Amino acid sequence: MKVAIASDHGGNELRRELIELLKEMNIDYTDLGPDHDESVDYPDYARPVAEGVANGTYDRGILVCGTGIGMSIAANKVEGIRCALVHDVYTAHATREHNNSNIIAMGGRVIGGALGKEIAKTWLEAEFEGGRHERRIDKITAIEQGK
Ligand code: RB5
């Protein structure tokens, strides 16, 4: 599995902790920055992760900003992206099982590193259940494509 990860200044600290998790899990990851702690605009970091997941360069993406909200809104503007804003472990596996989410967003000002890592690990290990959930995702795709 190839994972892209990025943040803004509000998510740098949590992103660094999540990178440690990806290393511990032996997951092939690409860190798309930023490589400094200055203020940046979260859409500039959400976009390459979302476009990379949408075009198949990466299988999954992880985005972190202060709340996770800006990142999730921006990522979900890219066709084919189902980005879930997640701050608890139940939602982390449910959004893989039911929504087949391909990006997760978290808020570095909302949760600490230990919970963030547990959420990311749960999400990375969970599988899409398909079945009735596939039909619902097809309906989301239809909305996205104006059908
Ligand atoms: C940056 O101050 C903050 O707005 C950003 O990290 C994020 O929380 C936006 O949704």
* pLDDT, tens only, 80-106: 999 999 999 999 999 999 999 999 999
Predicted confidence (pLDDT) per residue in 99-123, tens digit: 999 999 999 999 999 999 999 999 9
Q: Determine the residue of 42, 72, 73, 111 to mutate for testing ligand 1's pocket, defined as the one with the most ligand atoms within 8 A of the Cβ atom.
A: 42
What pTM value is reported for the model? Answer: 0.98
Q: Determine the residue of 37, 38, 40, 71 to mutate for testing ligand 1's pocket, defined as the one with the most ligand atoms within 8 A of the Cβ atom.
A: 71
Domain ranges of the chain: 2-144
Give the 3-state secondary structure of residue 102: coil
**In the predicted model, what is the mean pLDDT of the chain?**
98
DSSP string, 11-33: GHHHHHHHHHHHHHTT-EEEE--
**CATH class, 2-144 region:** alpha beta
Angle of CA points 46, 76, 11, to nearest 5°: 35
Measured from the Cα of 11, ligand 1's closest atom is: 6
Q: CB-side exposure of 80: number of CA atoms within 13 Å?
A: 13
Look-up: residue for tokens 């982390």?
92
Per-residue pLDDT at 12: 98
Q: How far is CA 65 from CA 92, 108, 113, 138, in A?
A: 17, 6, 13, 29
